[in-house]
């Protein structure tokens, strides 16, 4: 057993993967998909999206969305 593995509590050794990790593993390599699950997009944010975000912040729309 590696030194790092010995530091992991027993309760975490059998933890289930998070849903975002499961989805990334399932669809992350599909070339037809835009992967937004983990990491950064590989394209620039469109100007109209940036402007909409700025307007939203200036209008105090800064809270979490309803779930």
Residue 39 pLDDT grade (very low, low, confident, very high; cuts 50, 70, 90): confident
- Inside any domain, residue 31: yes
What is the rounded CA–CA span in Å between residue 30 and residue 17? 20
3-state secondary structure of 12: helix
Question: For residue 46, what are the domain limits?
Answer: 5-58
SS (H, E, C) 47-67: HHHHHHHHHHHHCCCCCCCCC
Residue 59 pLDDT grade (very low, low, confident, very high; cuts 50, 70, 90): very high
- Inside any domain, residue 52: yes
- Considering the entire predicted model, what is its pTM? 0.42
- Inside any domain, residue 64: no
What is the rounded CA–CA span in Å between residue 50 and residue 47? 5
**Number of structural domains found in the chain:** 1
- Inside any domain, residue 67: no
């Amino acid at each position: 057993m590696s030194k790092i593995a010995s530091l992991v509590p027993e309760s975490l050794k059998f933890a289930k993967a998070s849903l975002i990790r499961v989805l990334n593993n399932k669809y992350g390599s599909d070339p037809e998909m835009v992967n937004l699950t983990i990491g950064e997009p590989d394209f620039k944010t469109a100007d109209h999206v940036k402007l909409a975000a700025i307007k939203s912040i200036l209008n105090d729309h800064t809270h979490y969305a309803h779930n």
